[in-house]
Amino acid sequence: MPASGLRSRTNYVTAPATYGPLSYEGLIPASAAWRESDPVGDRLFCDIGEFTTDSGFCFPQVKVAYETWGRLNSSGTNAIYICHALTGDSHVTGSAGPGHLTAGWWASLVGPGRAIDTNEWFVVCANVLGGCQGTTGPASPAPDGRPWGSRFPVLTVGDLVEVELRLTDALGIDSWALMLGPSLGGMRVLEWLVAHPTRVRGGLVLGTTAAVSADQIGTHFTQLAAIYADPAFNGGDYYDAPAGQGPHVGMGIARSIAHLTYRSSTELDERFDRQIQGNDPAEIAGQCVGQPLSPYAITSYLEHHAEKLARRFDANTYITLTNAMSLFDVGRDRGGVQKVIGQITAPLTVVAIDSDRLFPNHQQQQLVDLAPGADRLHTVHSLHGHDGFLVEDEQVAAFVEQAVHRARP
């Protein structure tokens, strides 16, 4: 694409392929953020120049990492944008390998013959501002050459969207035929539809809300408190710490708290019940409070996901994006949620997950009740809670196909 500021992966300096598929061997890195010396993988890059956040912080330069699939047609009308969730990134589909710790997070939806058919559509997904997979974030070098770390500013969902808007302009796309995303991604879709209604012709939101609730803010607070309490966090400046000495304990606890909101209580009870892993329950009587209780199956499961995140993510990014979610209220300074959602006339497909305890269904129903462009509440039936958007491939694909159909002229 002949857009200024874009760099192909072929002219970007790469390092030996050491940043690749996720491994559980060795000590946990202080940060699993992608660095400029790492293999590029499938990323493309766009320099969008100076950027000032809602808080007034000025980045002298912001770089956006993104990936594309399919081809943009001559009229530029077949573009679809996917907004990733909190710990997602631009790697929607594709294998793990050099430059990518994990395989695509929504691979079942994007590709030839799939719900978003790349024989027809040009698909884009970018890592958000504040992310840790190539776009400017806390692990990125500041003008002095050191990682931004503790100096990285608080961001809003509006900031994330404005950077995506800059990328859209650089790609030469006047409007997206469809923009879709789950969770934090859905918040950005709503922000786009409210702030830039002429740039989005249709939307799909899944497991999200127009304004984060007190309950959700409280859950976010407890997660971030765990990271801040980890001495290895060092106020956000831990990037020079040796492997094994970063804030992985705090981020692991944060992930465990979050993961309980991502899955349903019914699923956890059915999978794990009160099972104690590898120990006779009678032996527990001999343990003391100075050591963790012999692990229940559920605690082992949570510990696994805590380690998995620490080996592929960054604590400062976790804080940055969680704060952006807590701050999200699409109606703030615009007359309120009822007013601004009531102005969304573009086709909007709203999807709930019936077992979602992080974003309960009444929050999606509110969107349907208020938005003229919404048809009805579509529901994914799942035992897996909020994570149903990652698990229930066939159901999610069916709703995406409906949204794609509504996006066609």
**386 a catalytic residue:** yes
| Coil vs helix vs strand at 371 | coil
Helices within 86-156 (DSSP H only): none
Which stretches within 237-360 are classed as H helix?
Answer: 248-262, 265-272, 297-310, 315-326, 337-341
The yes-or-no answer on residue 405 being catalytic is no
DSSP lists the bridge partners of residue 48 as: none
- How far apart, in Å, are the Cα atoms of 228 and each of 34, 163, 233, 260? 22, 28, 6, 20
Closest by CA to 183, choosing from 405, 402, 385, is: 385
Whether residue 89 lies in the annotated active site = no
In a 13 Å sphere around the CA of 226, the CA atoms on its Cβ side amount to: 19
* Terminal Cα-to-Cα distance of the chain (whole angstroms): 24
Task: Round to whole Å and give the CA distance between 249 and 101.
Answer: 20
Catalytic pick among 90, 140, 183, 382? 183
Active-site residue among 89, 159, 356, 387? 356
Dist CA 399 CA 195 (whole Å): 25
**Catalytic choice (91, 100, 220, 386):** 386
Residue where the block lists tokens 């002949």:
2
Q: Which residue numbers are catalytic?
A: 183, 356, 386
